[in-house]
Structure 1
């Protein structure tokens, strides 16, 4: 509707009820997996739980999943589809379970086989390890028929898994296969207090950390391991873990995050550190916000190799002092250069006199201890390494601050992808799984982190995200949780139906091509003229369209001015709720009313809608506007009119009538209340009648009681015989009892304290009951008192 078509009385607009729904670092959009906006394929298999370990085949067509008592091969070659190809059951035998139960472990939750390692040895075999009822065991899997490799006796070929896989399924571990050798970090004993980093398989001898020298503290928890491709003589494997620090004087146990490295060409020592690492070093990772407690507990880490650039490690951290039930999380990035600089810096050493860790300032040997030199090291250098494995310098994050801090989220997993916008500028996109079962998509721009969207993966009760695997070539994420696997696209640009919304999303995958919001990776030609602003998210001037009303409004195909006008014709004196779809949590929403001044109480707003009492004064056009990042656009438009007042609103040609749909909900259908009125009236009349009758009855009883009291209030006298027994004047002698006093049942005993009235026949004179005397015309003493009243006190 253009301004010229509106009546003059509707030209005034009132900006009312401004509600900021988002401020700070919050997801701009929130979707549910079941909704049409974010379609995700899912897979679940009955009686299989704990989909914890993922391995994607080299061709990306098969996803191998290690679960509880089973290993699955899933077909993920088709978009938006996950199908089961093979299932391998691998449960511990009854004897192992009985031994596990005998050691006071649960037969239902612990004495099972949780697959913790799943790697591809070659084109024909996988290598898998599981907890196997607290007896770690490994086996080979033939891909041809997806079965366990058998030994000469026809039994599954089972290998010792101690030092590779944890005993307890609650203990976390990490493993990586490098050139046919397995590098693993895990717990090495049943008690769970001997962490170990080992190298096995292959042709070389097995190496491991020295537990006696406490290179790793007893509570170390591993979260990731990576092989960094560098020149062959400097190739290293990095392990990320958390443990209790011993180098700090603190009032309680302090948990710190660490990175350790070992060299691929390490062969161990000849006489010192035999079958032990000779290149093991570890350093402290610092993820801290200035003025706040540091985030000391690392939860997960992801390595992003970059062509012709250094590798960057992205870690999810939590604070051991974080208050609140959910806690908070931070994401920090560490460059490989910063890590290598720390490992090339000074060492720490334990001063045995004061049992404190101090900086080592002594001379260094050549070659430097811990370097990846070719051949065995000298015994002197190895002796030095036994006690100087901790580096002095802490590793600071990129830009000396976290990339992202969110106080109301508990991040459990992270995956990072680098993509380019329409101008070719690279951007990092973070995918963060939460402990509440959500997936956050974050873009790192020059202005800071921006949470593009949140996908709620599960209905209540929420389940934590247990694993994330990014397949950038396929453009999907594989999410593992306790009951299944999800396949989530990294982007769904069709969600943004207008040019402003496409730009406001700041999604580097999406841009406006002039007609719709599309994924730029699917573009066949040049995308240089597509509209996109990842850095600032400013729709103007890219989405500029000339309209008659100030700011440009979003354009849809077949829609000239944003959302359609919804014409409503509710009866008068009814209540209508006008809802405003709040799609963006970063927008401020406000209502514009038909008149500058509205009668009080007729228009109010609750948390969800504008509530309007339909009267002549409230008829007109209502618009809900969303203001975000300096851009305003209408989110909903309603027009209330009544056939009784056709002069209130002008014509509305060009707009569709859609009744009370699209968010306009009347509170109660129009109906007659005559029967209710009659019922209430009758009940009220009956109630009043009952109350009136009760009042009359009470008043009558009070009158009767008062009459009885008045009749008995005078002293009783005996019947007179001709004259009064007591003279009215002058005589002070006490009255005597009359011999004519009537005897009978009305007379009480003289000993009683009560008085009673004695009735006599044929009263001819009235007595003055108030003064207990006869009237002035009473006869004198000696006169015959027959027919008089005698009252005597008994």
Structure 2
């Protein structure tokens, strides 16, 4: 039986993979990290099934809404407290689980911070008075101070609902939440605060599931648009058609309603288009929109990028990127699906200046033919998914960062269903997956995530804890200059003999291209191939079993084991771990062992162990001395060694 198929080897392989997956931060490509660095965390008082995060940009504080409780955490000062928001029994709820107060909306409205909850099926908002962060004791929420918003219908659902979407924009609030307990079974997109209330017609969407909404300011104020993203039942019922289709809808922010009595309170500028996310090589269609993240551009609203996270029936994921310019062009120029008549002077979807309402004829055409014929394709030059993966991603965040070369890179943070965050860098050559983060002390699903773009922090919550994760975890690449530069992490560079954040050292060495990095680090550290570490002396008993572990630092590198300068084996980096197993330690097995990786012309020695015989009369003092110098790879595999020994008995 070969080593690769031996049960003990397979068990060691499995346990080593398990160790790596539960050891903290690890890097998919090119590095695996086994020690979390830089994160700060706060525990929650109990297991929370529903989490709402509210974070103000460029602050260190975070509000967390949960069942009957508001948490406040300051990650800089460590000030934290909780405030209870108990439900007020109304007798309306029919299900026991609904007779609670789930805080589902925390935000600012007219310079007032509101805490809003379901409150046992009678949605209610409390005014949280402004105060200096960190003050003690905390001020109590003042129920009734904001009398105009005590009734929170439209801001909070009557019961916890995953199909709820609320967008606050100045004095206007937009919502997909039903306004009445026994009415409004058909989901609508509404304007519930600010200007006159408007709502979408009941026929323009089919069982929609809302994902994201945003206001995009355009060249003229009257032309400002609301875009919202959703998925709905596919009207095409043919056997080969997918059950769901992903959409983007547009509304004019200044919509005043229609001129007729039936259209006076309706959005009259609604149009929808299909979002295409198809891999042209495999014809694989990703039709299930999961999440959307919008990245503004300093080159104007037309260059604003929309990152759509999609999945398919197999659970695989893809990210497709669109521009607001492409979306706007489709709505302005495309024909209406199924409409063959002449267009009126005011085209469906066209924004009107001043206080003019939409003519009845225009509204009737748009209301009966709300879908445009042309579909929104991913942005050029790719016109294809940014990437697709077998991972099941659930959330996406994007952060723009200027690297040392002066170029700005978009860094994607993708949440997996296993509780990891994959950090990916978008370059002209594609997407490079550089780090996978396990933010919690124990693997757990991520219920919510938000970004602080100014401070470069991620805030994530599980059911048990909330964690602040720095985006510039440069210390994970600290082993050498080449290791740091090869990471191609736009936040990091080599300076002061360590891998540092560029916000602390803008002159640090960095290379974001795919070229070799040898010339960058030349003179900074020993030439490639030289020993980076001294040999670690390890005492191994004669006729015992032993194995050496080589850390996989890159999925594209080559790994070779040497014994006394002779090649004895290679490892496939796609199969972890890379180990050399000695089943029976003989005299010929003693000596020097090295594991060498080679990538892009750069060579480094990752493991150097000197295996020596156990003394004939070992003493306790000598054993302790030897134990102190046992290599990291030995301790990493200690559990597997015990398992191997038991299996071979």
Q: Could you state the TM-score of these two structures normalised by the residue count of structure 1? A: 0.67
Note the C-alpha offset of 1:479: 0.8
- Secondary structure of 1:418 counterpart: strand
Which among 170, 177, 183 is matched to residue 179 of structure 1? Answer: 170
Preserved CA contact (<8 Å) 2:549 2:578: no
Compared CA separation, residues 561 and 607, structure 1 to 2 (3 A): closer
2:427 is aligned with 1:445 = yes
1:100-139 superposed matches below 5 A:
100=93, 103=94, 105=95, 107=96, 109-123=97-111, 125-139=112-126
Note the C-alpha offset of 1:643: 9.1
Give the match for residue 531 of structure 1: 509
Give the match for residue 224 of structure 1: 212
1:375-774 superposed matches below 5 A:
375-398=356-379, 399-407=382-390, 409-458=391-440, 462-497=443-478, 498-513=480-495, 515-523=497-505, 527=507, 530-536=508-514, 538-545=516-523, 552-553=528-529, 561-594=531-564, 596=566, 608-611=579-582, 613-642=584-613, 659-664=629-634
Which among 370, 380, 384 is matched to residue 349 of structure 2? Answer: 370
Compared CA separation, residues 31 and 172, structure 1 to 2 (3 A): farther
Greater Rg, structure 1 or structure 2? 1
2:228 is aligned with 1:235 = no
Preserved CA contact (<8 Å) 1:48 1:68: no
Q: Distance in 1 between matches of 2:250 and 2:524?
A: 61
Compared CA separation, residues 367 and 569, structure 1 to 2 (3 A): same
Q: Distance in 1 between matches of 2:174 and 2:45?
A: 33
Give the match for residue 14 of structure 1: none
Preserved CA contact (<8 Å) 2:544 2:585: yes
What whole-Å deviation, never above 9, does each CA across 1:444-485 have from its counterpart, x for those lacking one? 11221111110112355x432222211121111111222232
Which among 263, 268, 271 is matched to residue 252 of structure 2? Answer: 263
- Secondary structure of 2:366 counterpart: helix
Q: Distance in 1 between matches of 2:106 and 2:334?
A: 37
Compared CA separation, residues 612 and 538, structure 1 to 2 (3 A): farther
- Secondary structure of 1:340 counterpart: helix
Q: Distance in 1 between matches of 2:545 and 2:475?
A: 36
Compared CA separation, residues 39 and 364, structure 1 to 2 (3 A): same
Give the match for residue 39 of structure 1: 38
- Secondary structure of 2:328 counterpart: helix
Which among 140, 146, 152 is matched to residue 127 of structure 2? Answer: 140
Preserved CA contact (<8 Å) 1:53 1:66: yes
Note the C-alpha offset of 1:314: 0.8
What whole-Å deviation, never above 9, does each CA across 1:26-83 have from its counterpart, x for those lacking one? 4433446xx3x4331112231362462222235524322222222333324x1xx653
Q: Distance in 2 between matches of 1:60 and 1:148?
A: 21
Which among 293, 296, 302 is matched to residue 293 of structure 2? Answer: 302
What whole-Å deviation, never above 9, does each CA across 1:546-566 have from its counterpart, x for those lacking one? 999xx614xxxxxx7302211
Compared CA separation, residues 187 and 539, structure 1 to 2 (3 A): farther
Preserved CA contact (<8 Å) 1:567 1:657: no
Compared CA separation, residues 459 and 54, structure 1 to 2 (3 A): closer
Q: Distance in 2 between matches of 1:303 and 1:416?
A: 8
2:213 is aligned with 1:209 = no
Note the C-alpha offset of 1:303: 0.7
- Secondary structure of 2:632 counterpart: coil
Preserved CA contact (<8 Å) 2:38 2:469: yes
Q: Greater CA deviation, 288-297 or 45-54?
A: 45-54
Note the C-alpha offset of 1:636: 0.6
What whole-Å deviation, never above 9, does each CA across 1:549-584 have from its counterpart, x for those lacking one? xx614xxxxxx7302211234343343332223344
Give the match for residue 620 of structure 2: none
Q: Distance in 1 between matches of 2:615 and 2:197?
A: 92
Preserved CA contact (<8 Å) 2:403 2:490: yes
Q: Distance in 1 between matches of 2:482 and 2:57?
A: 40
2:283 is aligned with 1:292 = yes
Preserved CA contact (<8 Å) 2:90 2:121: no
- Secondary structure of 1:541 counterpart: helix
Q: Greater CA deviation, 613-622 or 247-256?
A: 247-256
Q: What 5-or-longer segments of structure 2 have no aligned partner?
A: 1-12, 21-26, 132-137, 569-575, 617-625, 640-649
Give the match for residue 277 of structure 1: 267
- Secondary structure of 1:503 counterpart: helix
- Secondary structure of 2:540 counterpart: coil
Q: Distance in 1 between matches of 2:234 and 2:367?
A: 18
Note the C-alpha offset of 1:440: 0.8
Compared CA separation, residues 616 and 64, structure 1 to 2 (3 A): closer
What whole-Å deviation, never above 9, does each CA across 1:677-700 have from its counterpart, x for those lacking one? xxxxxxxxxxxxxxxxxxxxxxxx
Compared CA separation, residues 190 and 591, structure 1 to 2 (3 A): farther
Give the match for residue 713 of structure 1: none
Q: Distance in 1 between matches of 2:533 and 2:155?
A: 60
Preserved CA contact (<8 Å) 1:188 1:195: no
Give the match for residue 74 of structure 1: 73
Preserved CA contact (<8 Å) 2:447 2:463: yes
Give the match for residue 776 of structure 1: none
Q: Distance in 1 between matches of 2:57 and 2:453?
A: 13
Compared CA separation, residues 197 and 586, structure 1 to 2 (3 A): same
Q: What 5-or-longer segments of structure 1 have no aligned partner?
A: 1-18, 350-357, 554-559, 599-604, 646-655, 669-794
- Secondary structure of 1:626 counterpart: strand
Q: Distance in 2 between matches of 1:237 and 1:606?
A: 50
Preserved CA contact (<8 Å) 1:136 1:160: yes
Compared CA separation, residues 562 and 171, structure 1 to 2 (3 A): same
Note the C-alpha offset of 1:336: 0.5
Q: Distance in 1 between matches of 2:393 and 2:99?
A: 29
Which among 89, 100, 110 is matched to residue 94 of structure 1? Answer: 89
Note the C-alpha offset of 1:250: 4.0
